[in-house]
Amino acid sequence: MKKKIIGIILVLTLLGNSVLMAGEKLSLMLDWFPNVDHLPIYVAKEKGYFSDQGIEVTIISPSETSDALKLAASGNMDLAVSYQPQTIIAADNGLPIKVVAPLVVHPLTTLLFLEGKGIKNPSDLSHKKIGYTVPGLMDVLLEAFAVINKIQDYTPVNVGFTILPALVSNKVDAVMGPFKTYETVGMAQHGYKAQFFELEKWGIPDYEELIFVCGEKILEEKPAAVKGFVKAIEKAFAYTKSHPEDALATYLSAVPQADKKIETQAFELTRPYFAVKTGHNLDKWQAFADFALEYGLIKNKVDAASLIHTWK
């Protein structure tokens, strides 16, 4: 009888633990306001892929464009959407960050300007005001881009989220940071035609535009939950690729404030750039890290492999 009671207690304890695990909460901060770049995240949430992994994910928008990575590094956010260059810069600054999965695997960032401004080559922006969107990333990328493309004596201006107003008001002549798959569509909807220089065609190496990161402390405290997040995201990648129309409908339902016309057009442009599986190209990561050192984005050599968490 005593053994039977102990057995019942053990079963109830295990059941209780499984309930707690099933409800384990993760916070995820986006890099920007919600848009189709984040579509696989919403697919994973709405299709129940997170729930299947025993996790509950809260999606949060940042107040400032540079918030997400810093909050993840400090442990005040479990996960964040960030950028490969920003993560390499953060590592050089000693922030304890780990990369856990990709989201968008090639550059989308541009140096963007309005049509009719007489800008044909990057050097035409010499002696002009150039905005940037993410402090600590886009201003640093702009410095390297300017050196490579001989943009001289320009004035950098932090425009944050206000890309189009800054351009239309002539506060700046161009902006480093807008995506060729999103801001260009939004600007066209407002009657403005954007032109841009794609970074990878003007001397910046290929890199992963958007990635998922977390602080080392969170990875130690919640390894199963973070791994479950990665598995759910990989499933969402597959669903987005095989069922793009329903994936878009799922996202638009989850983010009702989104402009349906803009998001639909942007999604078609973004689809080819989404990751299809988790894992990273270490050679590509190291090539960018070496470039970052050469052009002064970082001060010390960064071992890219040490930034990327390898799942077992």
In this structure, what CATH number is given to the domain that contains residue 250? 3.40.190.10
**54 shares its domain with 125:** no
**35 shares its domain with 56:** yes
Pair of tokens at residue 98: 């780990």
Q: Would you call 25 helix, strand, or coil by DSSP?
A: strand
Pair of tokens at residue 202: 């003007």
**192 shares its domain with 223:** no
**71 shares its domain with 114:** no
**117 shares its domain with 84:** no
Report yes or no on 73 lying in a domain: yes
Report yes or no on 219 lying in a domain: yes
Report yes or no on 150 lying in a domain: yes
Report yes or no on 311 lying in a domain: no
**190 shares its domain with 262:** no
Q: What pLDDT does 64 receive?
A: 80
Report yes or no on 312 lying in a domain: no
**27 shares its domain with 98:** yes
Report yes or no on 78 lying in a domain: yes
Containing domain of residue 125, as a range? 109-201
Last residue in a domain, options 150, 179, 201? 201
Q: What pLDDT does 6 receive?
A: 40
Last residue in a domain, options 177, 201, 225? 201
Q: What pLDDT does 11 receive?
A: 41
Q: Of 136, 108, 82, whose CA–CA distance to 308 is shortest?
A: 82
**115 shares its domain with 96:** no
Q: What pLDDT does 7 receive?
A: 45
Report yes or no on 163 lying in a domain: yes
**102 shares its domain with 218:** yes
**100 shares its domain with 115:** no
**195 shares its domain with 259:** no
Count up the domains in the chain and report the number: 2
Query: How far is residue 308's CA from residue 100's CA, in Å, rounded to a whole number?
Result: 6
Q: What pLDDT does 160 receive?
A: 92
List per-residue pLDDT tens for the chain, 312 residues long: 444 444 444 444 444 444 434 579 999 999 999 999 999 999 999 999 999 999 999 999 998 877 899 999 999 999 999 999 999 999 999 999 999 999 999 999 999 999 999 999 999 999 999 999 999 899 999 999 999 999 999 999 999 989 999 999 999 999 999 999 999 999 999 999 999 999 999 999 999 999 999 999 999 999 999 999 999 999 999 999 999 999 999 999 999 999 999 999 999 999 999 999 999 999 999 999 999 999 999 999 999 999 999 987
Query: How far is residue 221's CA from residue 24's CA, in Å, rounded to a whole number?
Result: 12
Amino acid present at 236: A
**87 shares its domain with 150:** no
pTM, rounded to two decimals: 0.89
Last residue in a domain, options 146, 178, 201? 201
Residue 174: C-alpha distances to residues 135, 189, 262 (Å)? 16, 19, 22
